[in-house]
Amino acid sequence: MNRTTFNERCGICEERKERGIHLYNFFICTECEYNIIHTEPREEKYNYYLRKLKNINQPTLYS
């Protein structure tokens, strides 16, 4: 069996994880994705995640 695993560094926890999602050039592991979704905006963690997510290089919109 030829199985390829992708070990990418998560942009949130900065650990190498096999599973996750890509947001532009940003990789978020499934655990962090879950944490972000289940964090309330009033929690301190939420600002931490927001700051991390701001590092995403969004593609330039051409108009």
The residues that touch Zn ion, with contacts defined as CB under 5 A, are 10, 12-13, 29, 32
Q: Which is nearer to Zn ion, 19 or 58 (CB)?
A: 19
Report the residue number whose CB is nearest to Zn ion: 10
In single-letter form, the type of residue at position 9 comes to R
Q: Tell me how far, at minimum, the Cβ of 14 lies from Zn ion, in Å.
A: 7
Identify whether the C-beta of residue 19 lies closer than 8 Å to the C-beta of residue 2: no
Q: Tell me how far, at minimum, the Cβ of 33 lies from Zn ion, in Å.
A: 8
Give the dihedral of Cα atoms 15, 20, 23, 27; nearest 10 deg: 20
